[in-house]
Amino acid sequence: MKAPFLPLRPSDLGLRPSFGLRTSGFGLPLLALLLALFARPGSISAVSPQAEFESGLAACRIGDYVRAAHAFRESVTLEPASGALQDLGNAEWRCGRAGAAILAWEQARWLDPFNPSPRQNLSFARKTAQLEAPDLTWYEVVSTWLPASWWAWIAGTSLWLAVGMVLLPGVLRLRKATWQQAVAALGLMVFLLSIPAHFGVQTRARIGFVLQKDTPLRLTPTLEAQAITRLAAGDPARWVRPSGGYVLIRTSRALGWVEQEQFGTACPRTGKKAG
């Protein structure tokens, strides 16, 4: 015997049992709140990253690099992309902002290390501006072989693949096969090999670059602090810790404080998406 449907009663919250198609005065704001909570900002924005990117390309073609840099920055703010970051670096370099250009190219490398153009541009810029490249440790060099996000997924997938290959045959009452053991060993090996790269990603995320020319490296995080030295735009340093509006950085020569606006990391640490 087929069970009858339960009669639907009006909801106490105002949403009538019409699956949201007919809403009461309270239901409409609730629906808007849910949309605001779960909808992505880019999906409802009038400007898209692709449109901003093409606007930047058009500005570059007519030589308006200031406007191009602005458009590329808007594009990568909406959605970071390696090509847009590369073009942002080119536009910033044409505008004479070496620090911002180097940061953009480093971010492009961070996102897509397979793209040779940012690496070539970084070599060119550092040779031209007589800047030094970041001094990377061996595990940080290994971490540059693949995109940073890949290492995370490789480590997780390989670990759980190895665990699954060991555990599942017993659970599923399958006979343990050689290939299962081989896959487990391979997964464990990949996991162990990816650990240094994983660690390298963590430490490389602290590498940043001076954005402004003649940035004073202060002895203390205060406005009136004594300047230890002055850093050139694009000089690399490692983020140690923030304090107020300043950040303690370690360069190849000294340890000191700079203003946070004068220092940018390839992997943003202040909640900014890009740029």
Partner 1 sequence: MPTLACDMPLLTELEKVAVGRVDYKHAAPHGAVRCEWAHEILHPALRPVDPILLAPFLIVFLSLAAATTLCAQAPTQAPRDPFMSLMMAQPKIEIPLVTKATTAFDPPVVRPGELSFFRVVFDALEESIEWPTNLAGPPQLEMRPGAHGQMLQMNLTNLEPQTAFNYRVRASSLGSFTIPDFVVRVNGKAVTVPSARLDVVSEPPASVLPAERVTLELPLTNLFAGQPVTARILLPGTPAGAVQGLGAPQLCGSGILVDLGGARQRIEMRPRGAALGPTFIYETTVTPVATGKLMVYAQGFTAGNRFFTPSAIPVGPARCTLLESDPLELDVRPLPTEGQLPGFTGAIGSLTVGPPKLATNVLRVGDPVKLTVTITNRGDAPLARLVAPPPPQAQDWHVFAPSDITPTQPLAPPRPVVRFSPDGRSVVTSTAQAESLVGVVTFTYTLIPLTEDTRDTPPIPFSCFDPKACAYVDLTIPSVPVTVQPGAVPADPSSLVQASSAGVAPEKELALSGLSASRGRTAASLVSPQQRPWFPLVQLAPGVAFLGLWGWDRRRRHLEAHPDIVLRRRARRELSRQRRVLRRAARTADAPRFATAAVNAMRVACAPHYPAEPRALVGGDVLPLLPETERSGRSGQAVRRFFALTDAARFGTGASATAELLALRPDLERVLEELEQKL
* Site residues for partner 1 per CB under 8 A: 49-50, 53, 57, 60, 75, 79-84, 86-87, 90, 93, 107-108, 110-112, 115, 117-118, 120-121, 123-125, 127, 130, 147-149, 151-153, 156, 160, 163-164, 167-168, 170-171, 198, 201-202, 205, 227-230, 253, 266-268, 273-274
Measured CA to CA, the distance from residue 266 to residue 204 in angstroms comes to: 9
Measured CA to CA, the distance from residue 77 to residue 89 in angstroms comes to: 14
Of 90 and 212, the one with the shorter C-beta distance to partner 1 is 90
Min dist. Cβ of residue 35 to partner 1 (A): 19
Measured CA to CA, the distance from residue 74 to residue 91 in angstroms comes to: 13
Specify the pairing of strand 227-231 against strand 215-218: antiparallel
Of 152 and 248, the one with the shorter C-beta distance to partner 1 is 152
How many alpha carbons fall within 13 Å on the CB side of residue 205?
Answer: 13
Of 15 and 274, the one with the shorter C-beta distance to partner 1 is 274
Min dist. Cβ of residue 259 to partner 1 (A): 18
Min dist. Cβ of residue 69 to partner 1 (A): 12
Of 15 and 201, the one with the shorter C-beta distance to partner 1 is 201
Q: Which residues of 233-261 are buried (b: 16+ CB within 10 A; e: fewer)?
A: bbbbbbbeeeeeebbbbebeeeebbbbbe
